[in-house]
Amino acid sequence: MIELEDVWKIFGTDEQAVLAEARRSVPDDAVLKRLRAVIGVGGASLSVEKGELVCLMGLSGSGKSTLVRLINRLLEPSAGKVRIDGGDILSLGPRALRELRSRRIGMVFQSHALLAHLSVRDNVALPLEIRGVARTRREDRADELLVRVGLDGLGDRRVAALSGGMQQRVGLARALAADPDILLMDEPFSALDPLIRHDLQTQFMALSRDLGKTTVFVTHDVDEAFRIADRVVLMRAGRIVQTGTAADLVAQPADDYVRRFVQNARLPARAQDPIVKARAIA
Ligand SMILES: Nc1ncnc2c1ncn2[C@@H]1O[C@H](COP(=O)(O)OP(=O)(O)OP(=O)(O)O)[C@@H](O)[C@H]1O
List, as own/partner pairs, every contact residues 137-143 make where C-beta atoms lie below 8 angstroms and the sequence separation is at least 24, other chains included: 138/177, 141/177, 142/173, 142/177
Strands of the sheet containing 2-12, edge to edge, are 37-48, 2-12, 79-84, 87-88
**Spans of all domains in the chain:** 2-244
pLDDT of the residue at 193:
82
**Which atom of ligand 1 is nearest to 63's Cα?**
18
pLDDT reading at 272 higher than 70 = no
**Structure letter (DSSP) for residue 271:** G
How much is the CA Rg of the chain, to the nearest whole Å? 20
For residue 81, the model assigns a pLDDT of 96
Nearest CA to ligand 1 atom 31: 61
Task: Specify the range with the lowest mean pLDDT, choosing from 75-79, 199-203, 272-276.
Answer: 272-276
Give the mean pLDDT of 97-110: 86
**Residue 198 identity (one-letter amino acid):** H
- CB 127 near ligand 1, within 6 Å: no
What integer is the mean pLDDT of 97-106? 88
46-55 pLDDT, tens digit per residue, is 999 999 999 9
pLDDT, residue 270, reads 63
* For residues 159-173, average pLDDT: 87
Ligand 1 centroid – CA 64 distance (Å): 8
- CB of 27 within 6 A of ligand 1: the answer is no
Return mean pLDDT, the chain: 88
Best residue among 32, 57, 64, 236 to mutate for probing ligand 1's pocket (most ligand atoms within 8 Å of CB) is 64
Measure the CA–CA gap between 165 and 282, rounded to whole angstroms. Answer: 40
Given CA atoms 220, 61, 41, 28 in this order, what sign does their dihedral have? negative
**Band of residue 160 on the pLDDT scale cut at 50, 70, 90:** confident
The per-residue pLDDT for range 210-227, each reduced to its tens digit, is 889 999 999 999 999 999
- Please say if the pLDDT value at position 30 is more than 80: no
pLDDT value, residue 192: 80
Q: What's the gap in Å between 33 CA and the centre of ligand 1? A: 15
Binned at pLDDT 50, 70 and 90, residue 103 comes out as: confident
Phi and psi angles of residue 152, each rounded to the nearest 5 degrees, phi first:
-55, 130
Q: Which of 236-240, 247-251, 277-281 has the lowest mean pLDDT?
A: 277-281
pLDDT at position 281 is: 43
Atom nearest to 75 CA in ligand 1: 1
Residue with CA nearest ligand 1 atom 16: 63
Residues 6+ apart with CB under 8 A from 30: none
Supply the pLDDT for residue 150.
86
**Which residues face 2 on adjacent strands?**
48, 84
Is 242 touching ligand 1 by the criterion CB < 6 Å? no
167 or 269: which carries more pLDDT confidence? 167
153, pLDDT greater than 70: yes
The residue that leads in pLDDT, 98 or 282, is 98
In CATH, what number does 2-244 get?
3.40.50.300
Nearest protein CA to atom 1 of ligand 1, as residue: 11
Atom of ligand 1 nearest to the CA of 62: 21
Q: Is the dihedral of CA 220, 221, 225, 228 positive or negative?
A: negative
Note the pLDDT of residue 280.
Answer: 44
Averaged pLDDT, 172-200: 87
Q: Which residue intervals of the chain are DSSP H helices?
A: 15-24, 29-34, 64-71, 94-99, 120-130, 135-148, 164-176, 194-210, 222-228, 246-251, 256-262, 274-281
| Among 157, 232, 104, 212, CA closest to 241 | 232
Q: Which atom of ligand 1 is nearest to the CA of 65?
A: 22
Contact 169, 149 (CB under 8 A): yes
Amino acid 282: pLDDT: 40
Strands 79-84 and 87-88: antiparallel
Atom of ligand 1 nearest to the CA of 220: 25
Predicted pLDDT of residue 275: 47
Q: Give the integer Cα–Cα distance in Å for 71 and 90.
A: 10
Pocket test for ligand 1, best of 32, 38, 218 (most atoms within 8 A of CB): 38
CB 110 within 8 A of CB 186: yes
Q: Is 64 in the pocket of ligand 1 (CB under 6 A)?
A: yes
> Does the pLDDT at position 7 exceed 90?
yes
